[in-house]
Structure 1
Amino acid sequence: MNVFVTLVFVLITSHLTSTSHITLTTDGYQNVVVAIDENSGFASCQQDLENIKELIRSTSVSFGQGLERPAYFGDVTIILPDSWVSDPICSTLMTSTNITLLPWARSHAADIRFTPDHPVFGNQPHSFQYGGCQEPGLSINVPSTFVSNFTDVTKARIMAREWAHYRYGVFDEGGMPDDERHPSGYMMFQTESSDKVMRANTCSGGKTLRGNWNNEECKSTNSGNSSCEFQPDVYNPDVTSSLMYRPDLDHMEKFCTKENHDDGVPSKLSYHCGSLSSSEVIYKHLDFTPGVTPANASAEITFSVIQNPFSGYHVILDIASFSTKELFEQAKNSLMQFIAFLLDPVLLSIDTYDGANVVELQPPVYLDPATAFALLGKLQSVAHATGSPNAFGVALERAQTRASFGQDVIILTAVQTIPDLTDWIKSYDENKVIVHLVHFGVSTAKVEMAQLARYGSVHVIPNVANSNLMNPYTWAVSTLQSIYGKTKSYRAKIFEQSVIKTTTTDLIKTGYFYLDSPASKLLVSLYCLNTDQPLIIDYVSILQPDGYPVRNETTEDDTFTGEDFFSFVVGRYPVATLPAGMWSYKIKFDKTFIENIVHRLDIWAEPADSSQVQVQTWNTALDNQPLDYTKAPVGLYAQVTQNRKPVQGANVTAYVYVTDGSTSNLFTTIPLLDEGISDVTSGDGIYSAWLTTPSYTSHSYSVYYQAYGVNSLAVIDNGTYTRPPTTGSVIPMSSPIAAATQFNRYEYGSSFQLAALLSSSFDLIRPQRVTDLTVLSYDVSSRIAELGWTAPRDNYGSGEIVSKFRLYQSIGSAEANFTEYTTPVNTDGSVNLTVQVPYLSEGEFVKYRVVAKDSSNNMADPSNVVSMAGPAFRTGGISDATMWALIGVAIAILLIILIIVLTRWCCPVEAKRRQRQAKRKMRQWFSCGDKTARRTDTAPTTRYQSPPPTIQQWNSPTISQDGELPAVRRDSDASTTPQPQVELRQKTADPARTSTYGSERIYFGQEDIDRMTSGPRSETYSERGTEEMIKRAPSMDLQLATILRMNSSNFSIDRVGRDENDPNSRPTEIIKPRVYARPFKPNEATNRPVSNQPASRGYPYNSNKPLSMSETNLYYTDVALRPPAAQSTKSSPSNSYLSVYAEQRADVVPPHQSAQSSLANTLRNGMRGNEEWQDSNSFIYTDPRFDGQSKGPSSFDPQLHPANQNGLPPPCHPYHLRFLLELTILIWATMVTTGPAICPSIVTMRISKR
């Protein structure tokens, strides 16, 4: 049980850095590994596994759609947790139980991990980024509730962003409020104004996002600051990029490209990647090498579902490679201590190479204490030998075979290279063999053997001389435990101490060590640094904080001993958890033991719960290949966490060792910071630094890390952070608490090598990159801007201050031009430079970036970009001169109206006559040639004697039973019939309830027509009549019912039935109103009349949405209100009229409308699919597409068309045209009435009322 608990915590935490096996081919991404953690929070393995697969499918689609050169997932391996594998139901989900099919896959090195919700970041997926642009991020952590709590589209886009973080080192676009480096809003100077303008830190593909600032002060040029936050609308249909900005927004589905990227915003991407867009960063990866064919988007993803293939270790002990017996004994004894502490069931096999032959010292076996004792005896008897490395390939071949059974390969050697190494490197790469190279050589040359460890780790053991604390033995012992902690079960090294017996009477040594969190086991090792000296002790006691001895001189012999080491485990068979606190130890040496021999005491702790502070380390050389130092400095990293929470306030130091060819020495000590210049995100628990000064003698570097916290200064966040943790430059703490009163961690990390030695006589190292370029001030009158930045230093920051710079200036998409300057550096280390700002066109920006240049003409990377805005585009607003002119005209008009009012009483008869003339002219002008406007005010008259166009109608004799649906439309039913003359009725102001006359216009846009006629339809829809509504009383026969039809061929609304004035007409003849088409040409967007009505759910018309090109021609029809075609014997007279008073539909139509409005609403609302309803007068309205199955929302509502909104003009004239016409008539009438007769009239007053 203890083993299982330990494994749970390891799987949650040991997944920080690994070299991915992923490749991109024409079949998509291959070898993607997904792992599900223990206690991940999933409830059903079957359903949750399917949800995970679907998430990966949708992520693949979303990421591929975001690129112009798409990439998709092709082959994905999902590793189940051990608890699922042992479950009878969940185990059936595995596609194979044969680990030899995918022996290289590792749960701890998965690319995507499904975990419990993060204790700080909740259900937000995240891949932390620690390095520069294009450096991959840490594994993607996906909380289990994210899989179920988000919509599929949103989840896919968020995961696509995280894949860009992880695989390609792309940074977020956008910012956070109160973030000094990456704010949500920032102030920008304007070239034509002394005021600044607040801009949103967004990347929206060159388009303006709709949204609002979090407060009104942000809109001011004086009060805007970094606390301002721009909050975009979720619905921005015209903005499709960038996924690195806000993937949660609707329609946000593309990565920004070179053409639409804004590099002038202070986002993380611009800060770290300069002017590169997110797409450009992705395309610089080797995945997109020119000539590679894009992956097939329609190909299915191949999923392999397996258990974790890791089974244990295969060790190669290269005896013949060690130059001295002492060095070999140190390597052998460190391996023996490694075996002594293999507590969990692991498969172990050992081969030795003596320079001529490979000997299988231990066949594969799962260790238990008895087997371990026997194996230690075999190793103790292995003696040093010398020989040639020529046959070492046999050992590599056997190791490759063992790797096919899921074993990691550990090679202990001192050889630099072997014959046919290139072939073995290729073979190990193709078979994805995971190698951990522990190299004991002291040569200054490159360790070529390190190239075998592309998927594992490289550890160059420094040969430190004259040190009581550090020598090859202690480094090798700790290195092997570090390998175990990263690949199997995490162990924190909490204590290391030198112990020396100084006199013959100095037999007892005591001391203390602090256990900062409860532990399940303590692993204790005491050994002599000089392997030639035996270790003779009486006992070692370990006491708890309360003084209780968990081990003393009476404890049964549970030790693993060698000639020079004494190892045991406290808690191997635990009864209770080992408590946190100050522990103590007591060592009693034998009195015969020689004085002044240096011993080493090491203690590791395995966690009992999640409260242990854990440290993981790595460097820039993730694939263990040599680094080119002239291109970038080497980054050193350590992540400090507790229960997956970032720990802030820890002290982390890296100690870098190099060799001079005979011994190794401490080269430099580097503090690692969580907020330094090399740090990407402060507060993420990742402490980093750059090695800015290389060695001129050695290719190889060994790094040892120490992390500690004192006086409760190391803290974690006890609160939550709901914003994306990867967007800002800092993750703030809302509720900090102490991680531990104190703690100590000692980590022996991976080594790295440089590709070439640098010469001290020739400078190839570049200066630091400027990261804080700023526009300090701007004088609009002289057009002089002052730029400022912190002076960088040469050699990545370790050299002299640089004073030469190249300033680049660009406008729009034009190529940047540059000017070189030599500027003095201020006493505070800053640099100031004044520049002449050019004149800009509307909407243009001038951008600046600076590049440092050292005395050897080495150029640094370009700095961040700063911008200044030119004049804004004219938006149709009125200038001051025009405003005053309009005010003058308004005053003149008021004076004229005053004259009219005063003189009205002079000539009342003449005024009335002129009023009638003006009204007639007004009516003619507004009729636009429509003679229906020339009618009497009350009595309906017949107009338009010309017949309408011919249309096809259909009729079926099968409609005979009450309640049946209309017959299926057949080609044989169609006939071409001439249409009768049309009678249009003028709408009355307020018809009586029983009135049979009246009309009302209903407007439709071409876009609405297109939706009604060509939109997606169900099978039921396509088999029946289109755009029809049947109206009838409950008992009315369907043959006598009224059918209203929207005819899409000529945009008319037809009513099927008899004409009551023509007893000889057939039922198929239609009383069809005529359709009028009126051009509706919108003005500029700012002057266009808009609606203030809420948007519908199906096809919203936002209040600021201008009419589209397809809506510039509107159509309307007058619906005639007429008596029914014939009286039904089954219906009462009160229900026999087509016009219905107070018709009501609860969810759309308000009650108590006029008959005309009621019918119009009925018709509007009738054009809906899958609906049937009954009004207050028991009339049943049935859509022929109604199948009795659904009551879903309508996809079309002409009532919400902009032309039908309150306050809009009729489609005959745009609003501004009508206003100008009325104003023209007003002036004309005024001129007429104030002519020679000086007899004004009230024409204008009456017209205004109209």
Structure 2
Amino acid sequence: MRRKMLSSAASLSVLFAALLLPAGVAASSRVELVNNGYENLVVGISPSLPESEGATLIPIIKDAIKKASEVLFTATRSRAFFRDVRIVIPKSWSNTDTDEVAVFESFKESELRIDNPNPVYENQPYTRQPGECGDPGEFIHMTPAYLKEQVYSYYYGPPAKVLVMEWARLRWGVYDEIGYSGDPKYPIFFSLPREVADGRTDVQNQVVYQVNVCTDTYLNGKERMWFDESMRCTYTHEGLPDGDCVFFPDANQTATSSLMSFPLVFSDTLVEFCDDHTHNSLAKTKQNDRCDGQSVWEVMLQHSDFKGNANPAISQAEEPNIKVVRETDADYVLVLDYSGSMSTADRMVKLQLAAQRWLLHEVPLYSSVAIVRFDSTASLLAPLTKIVGETERKSLANQIHTNNNGGTSIGAGLKMAVELLEGRSDKNVFLITDGEENEAPMIADVMDEIISKKLCVSTLALGGNAAKDLEKLGDLTKCPSFTVNDNDVSNALENAFEGVSTRQQSVSLEESFIKIEETPKIQTPTPEYEGSFFVDSTVGMNLTFRLKTDAKSHVLSGPSLIKPDGTTLKGAADFDDIGNVWTIVVPEAEEGAWHWKVTLSQDSSKYIQATVLALPRDPNDAPIVTTVKFLAPATGVSPKDQNIKIMATVMKGNSPIRGADVVAYVTPPDISVSAQEYELLDNGVGADAVSGDGIYSRYMTKFAGEGRYSIKALVKGGSSASVNNGPPPPPTYPSAGRRRRRSTDLDIKPKPCCGSVVPYDPDTAAPTGNFTRVASGSSLKVIDPPAPDEDILAPCRVPDLQVAELYGLDEGGSILTLIWTSPGDDHDEGTVSDYTFRLSEVRPDLSNKGFDEAPPSTLLHFEREALNQSGVLVPFGSSVAFNVTYKGAFTFGTEYLVALKAKDEAGNGSPVSNVASFFLDQKLDLPSWADELIKTIKKSNAEFFSQS
């Protein structure tokens, strides 16, 4: 028999927008901490902003950086400041004064980006952090309105202090130490045992709770509705302030930490990060949850900036050196391998065709291109030539021949590229090779000169035997690396060329071609072939259809396009007889399903391949764009040492797209193995950091040998996909006298975003309708992968464990009902085999370091057969509930912590889950609302099980 004690829930010439980007800030950021000063920090101003903003924005940015450097110096205890900063403005801002021409700086690779708002955050600064604790973020986002309008400094804090907070997230991979109004995982208030000092009490002086921040002293302040500071809060059945309640600290505080609790704690005294002495490891913050209870300072000390006492404290910081630079037309040197091994698998022929197509159709107008060939020595095929029209494109394309022989001296080709780019500004080298270097000079012989002259060297490895140091070359120059295997049918070679030109140049989305379709290479014996693609409402201007083949004779008649109404588009396709490409341009393509067809020779040894691009339909309406990449070092990573994430973004401008279908295709180095499919998810579990933010993720769990892996993503939208246009408006309260306006109104202080979920308003969300997008990413080098019969991948961490119900047993002990989302057998793939549950009063028992060694008394018990029959051992992503038994006795007024670890059939254990908490207060079973609470939880549990 059991009796219920308590229910408690724990709290083209125009560039592609389907970009190929290097992986994360670790791959593309050139920022270094040198003798306590950060160098090469880039602030990028979006090309979507009008030049008229520059005169106001640039002085504000300079002032914010200077003040932020002082804040940073204090916060890091005199160990770091900003020394060298570049503000890069768009190439189109021709009337704005600059100090220099940009060399490596671009908006797309800047650490701090000034851009139009993301509607989810509105004008709140934020940092994109798709990785784990300690991983670098991707970029900081600030809006012009935030920088210019004083009211936003009142809402979110002054730019200098906020920039340091965001820098901590970007550089050191730490998180907020605040709660969020209405957030189920990181609430703004959480319950405390009555015996705990410094707690707050509800209006009936019954329930003790705490503001969810990390501060070194008690905070004075008041609870009020977030949309009206004059309105007192209402309270839940549990006695906590409800989801519309926030905390307004008094102006005068004595707390000095933590900066990561700002601006919820809006105080000038907050100047430090929490360390182990001041950190509150029990606060229900993102920092505690994502970093295993570690303080911000503890995580920072594990970063190379400070690890091993690097960059010890100094007496005084230098004044930041800030310069304004303008993006310029890029210079490219193609460095092509002409060694004898390039005859293998027709690599030379494939390279010739891809390079010619890039020169004829993709390389940006007004850029300059040179071509270098190397074998045992290097020679110049074409000097730097400015692309101003078709004449230059054809002249360069005709210089690429297929007469290859000799050894491999990559260093010779690179040395000539360095000489060609002497005195130039935006210096880019694209090195393509298939073999190990075997003749001097070597890569190492020219590496120092390449770095000192700030060249960007992108690399492409053809086949499986290319030089081992290619990724290192790309990493040291902070540029992407690509790979193409000999059996590639996915157009990866030409996508790599596109990636080189799109990574550098920043253009507004209004000027960007969007790739809406790309077929694989199609080899068929049929006399006719027909394909289709969908033109959505956001694109359609200058739609460009291209059909490529490796033999002109294979295509008996040029392709034709059939419009959505069934009529065939008039006019013949243009043919490029150098690259073997047919092109059809539609000035304004109708929305809907288009078809194309072509007559073929029936020679299945030849291929055709189709690509469809289009400009945005309305320059004032942002198109849907996507990117994909590996979140791992391109230089090489072993799955035995580090989890590898696959990440795709799906956005309409800066607005997240929810409900899209995203599939990533990973091509392994083994040409006998097909591309591996991964369904990427935006659900906040497994590899995905936050639900609903437009970032779709999955762990890489399939490996086909050591070598280089390439990636591509296909995105589809349908009836379930929508554009998140921002959070819901404030609720209506009678005492307010009127319905409040949306949080964009300046008289309403907006809610900070985002905790565990991204706010979403179905009333303002816009359906996307049908759409498709294609994106490719840079390559990943996998070292020491697991053998086919070796199981080394553990289940992923459970992020959402909760204690749903608690029952006391007459014979002693208690039963806890736990709910969570199931992990996978291999990270977020498959089905786990076992669980271990623990309950403790102290957090170290439930840390990753302490869980397995915690006392036996902390174990929560269950029958193995019950686990097998309960529906808990189910595939990744399923909602589950399970009863466990605690054999000890609970003490009223004591907080208890619960966590779990999952195991696979090989015994690999997951990281410890989030820590769920509850406590028993003798007064909780006396108030009249206790029965209502139990009924509420019973109802929610019934709903939970009905949805499972």
TM-score band by shorter chain is: 0.7 to 0.9
- The alignment yields a C-alpha RMSD, in angstroms, of 4.0
Per-residue CA deviation, residues 911-952 of structure 1 (Å, 9 max, x unaligned), is: xxxxxxxxxxxxxxxxxxxxxxxxxxxxxxxxxxxxxxxxxx
Q: 2:888 and 2:75 mapped to 1: Cα distance?
A: 37
> Which amino acid in the other structure matches residue 493 of structure 1?
K
**Residue 685 of structure 2 corresponds to residue 682 of structure 1:** no
What residue in structure 1 maps to residue 66 of structure 2?
57
Q: CA deviation at 1:702?
A: 1.9
Is the alpha carbon distance of 1:76 and 1:667 closer, same or farther for their aligned partners in structure 2, counting shifts above 3 Å?
A: same
Residues 912-1061 of structure 1 correspond to what in structure 2 (within 5 A)?
none
Identify which of 795, 800, 822 aligns with 1:772: 800
* CA distance in structure 2 between the partners assigned to 1:615 and 1:551 by the alignment: 32
Name the SS of the counterpart of 1:171 in structure 2: coil
Q: Structure 1 residues 388 and 600 mapped into 2: Cα distance closer, same or farther (>3 Å)?
A: same
C-alpha contact 1:14 1:108 (8 A) present in aligned 2: no
* Mapped pair 1:254 → 2:272: yes
Specify the code of the residue in structure 2 equivalent to 1:865.
V
TM-score by length of 1: 0.60
Q: Per-residue displacement from partner, 1:78-134 (whole Å, max 9, x unpaired)?
A: 1122243x21xx22xx2234x5xxx22223211112223444533222222212112
The 3-state SS of whatever aligns with 2:82 is: coil
1:626 and 2:654 matched? no
- For residues 425-479 of structure 1, give each alpha carbon's deviation from its aligned partner in whole angstroms, at most 9, with x where no partner exists: 5654555432322222135x99432221111212221343xxxxx616x221233
1:672 paired residue number: 681
- Partner residue of 1:75? 84
- Cα 1:831/1:51, change in 2 over 3 Å: same
Q: Tell me the residue number matched to 1:283.
A: 301
- Please identify which structure carries the higher strand content: 2
Matched, 1:175 2:210: no
Instruction: Please state if 1:462 is matched with 2:485.
Output: yes
Could you say what secondary structure the match of 2:44 adopts?
strand
Paired positions, count: 831
1:828 aligns with 2:871: yes
Are the counterparts in 2 of residues 21 and 432 from structure 1 also a CA contact under 8 Å?
A: no
Is 1:313 aligned to 2:329, yes or no?
no
Distance change in 2, residues 1:685/1:148 (3 Å) = same
How far apart are residue 141 of structure 1 and its match? 1.6
Partner of 1:20: 29
Matches within 5 A, 1:150-161: 150=150, 151=153, 154-161=158-165
Larger displacement relative to structure 2 (327-336 or 750-759): 750-759
Contact conserved, 2:485 with 2:669, CA < 8 A, in 1?
A: yes
Q: Give, as a single letter, the amino acid of the residue that structure 2 aligns with 1:521.
A: N
Distance 2:136 2:344 in 1: 41
Residues 413 and 580 of structure 1, relative CA distance in 2, 3 Å threshold: farther
Q: Residue by residue, what CA displacement relative to the aligned partner does 1:139-191 show, whole Å, maximum 9, x if unpaired?
A: 11211111122359622222222112222221222232332222223445669
> Is 1:267 matched with 2:285?
yes
Mapped contact 2:212–2:284 kept (Cα < 8 A): yes
What's the counterpart of residue 752 of structure 2?
A: 724
8 A Cα contact 1:354 1:387, kept in partner: no
Please say if residues 190 and 869 of structure 1, whose CA atoms lie closer than 8 Å, have aligned partners that are also in contact.
Answer: no
Matched residue, 1:374:
395
- Once the two structures are TM-superposed, the CA of residue 713 in structure 1 deviates from its matched residue by 3.2
In the aligned structure 2, how far is the partner of 1:329 from the partner of 1:834?
Answer: 68
- Which amino acid in structure 2 is aligned with residue 714 of structure 1? S
Q: Which runs of 5+ in 1 are unaligned?
A: 465-469, 572-576, 873-1250
Q: Is this contact kept in 1: 2:712–2:775, CA < 8 A?
A: yes
Report 1 or 2 for greater relative contact order, CA contacts < 8 Å, sequence distance ≥ 6: 2
**Equivalent position of 1:819 in the other structure:** 855
Partner of 2:141: 141
Q: Deviations over 1:1199-1222 (max 9, x none)?
A: xxxxxxxxxxxxxxxxxxxxxxxx
**Tell me, what secondary structure is at the counterpart of 1:33?**
strand
In the alignment, is the contact (CA less than 8 A) between 1:519 and 1:579 conserved in 2?
A: yes
Q: CA 1:39/1:264 → structure 2, altered by over 3 Å: closer, same or farther?
A: same
AA paired with 1:413?
A: T
SS at match of 1:371: helix
Q: How far apart, CA to CA, are the structure 2 residues paired with 1:841 and 1:511?
A: 67
The one-letter amino acid paired with 1:77 is R
CA distance in 2, matches of 1:209, 1:494: 55
Tell me which moved more, 268-277 or 816-825: 816-825
Within the candidate set 247, 250, 255, 1:239 is matched to 255
Post-superposition Cα deviations, 1:520-562, rounded to whole Å, max 9, x if no partner, equal: 433332222xx36744444344466578987612x7xx54333
The amino acid that maps onto 1:268 is: K
Question: Which whole-Å CA distance do the structure 2 matches of 1:493 and 1:206 have between them?
Answer: 54
1:659 paired residue among 658, 665, 669:
669
User: Residue deviations 1:994-1040, cap 9 Å, x none?
Assistant: xxxxxxxxxxxxxxxxxxxxxxxxxxxxxxxxxxxxxxxxxxxxxxx
Task: Choose which of 357, 365, 386 in structure 2 pairs with 1:337.
Answer: 357
- The 1:715–1:418 alpha-carbon spacing in structure 2 relative to 1, beyond 3 Å, is farther
Match for 2:145: what amino acid?
T
Structure 2 partner of 1:616: 627
Maintained 8 Å contact 2:223/2:233: no
Give the 3 Å change call, closer, same or farther, for CA 58–411 of structure 1 in structure 2: same
For 2:99, the equivalent position in structure 1 comes to: 95
Aligned to 1:523: 544
User: Quick check: 1:301 aligned with 2:320?
Assistant: yes
Judging changes above 3 Å, is the alpha-carbon distance between structure 1 residues 425 and 183 closer, same or farther for their aligned structure 2 residues?
A: farther
For residue 341 of structure 1, give the secondary structure of its aligned residue in structure 2. helix
Q: Is the 8 A contact 1:129 1:165 kept in 2?
A: yes
Aligned residue for 1:1113? Answer: none
Instruction: Give the Cα–Cα distance (whole angstroms) in 2 for the partners of residues 493 and 858 of structure 1.
Output: 41
Partner SS for 1:796: coil
Deviation of 1:737 (Å): 3.9
Q: Aligned in 2, Cα 1:347/1:39: closer, same or farther, shift over 3 Å?
A: closer
Give the Å deviation of 1:648. 1.0
Within 2, Cα distance between the matches of 1:220 and 1:747? 47
Give the counterpart of 1:162 among 144, 159, 166: 166
1:802 positional shift:
4.6
d(CA) in 2 for partners of 1:676, 1:158: 28
How far apart, in 2, do the equivalents of 1:255 and 1:778 lie?
A: 41
In structure 1, the residue matched to 2:836 is 805
Correspondence for 1:987: none
Identity of aligned residues (%): 20
Contact residue 522 and residue 607 of structure 2 kept, 8 A: yes
Distance 1:217 1:119 in 2: 27
8 A Cα contact 1:684 1:731, kept in partner = no
What residue number does 2:940 align with?
Answer: none
Q: CA 1:728–1:712 in structure 2 vs 1: closer, same or farther (change >3 Å)?
A: closer
Map 1:537-686 onto structure 2 (within 5 A): 537-542=556-561, 552-553=571-572, 559-562=575-578, 565-568=580-583, 570=585, 578-582=588-592, 584=594, 589=599, 597-607=606-616, 609=619, 610-621=621-632, 623-660=633-670, 662-686=671-695
Q: Contact 1:518–1:578 (CA<8 Å) still a contact in 2?
A: no
Q: Is the 8 A contact 1:841 1:871 kept in 2?
A: yes
Q: Which amino acid aligns with 2:827?
A: Y
| Structure 1 position 265, deviation (Å) | 2.9
Match of 1:707 in 2: 715
1:862 aligns with 2:932: no
Partner in structure 1 of residue 471 of structure 2: 450
Q: Distance in 1 between the 2:844 and 2:824 partners?
A: 31
Give the letter for the 2:47 counterpart: E
Deviation at 1:694, TM superposition (A): 3.7
Q: Cα offset for 1:777?
A: 2.7
* 1:669-727 CA distance string (max 9 Å, x none): 33333544322222211111111x24252333222210011247333326777433333
Q: Which runs of 5+ in 2 are unaligned?
A: 1-11, 226-230, 728-741, 744-749, 873-880, 923-948
Point out the structure with max Rg over C-alpha: 1
In the TM superposition, what is the alpha-carbon distance from 1:665 to its structure 2 partner? 1.8
Counterpart mapping for 1:1150-1161 below 5 A: none
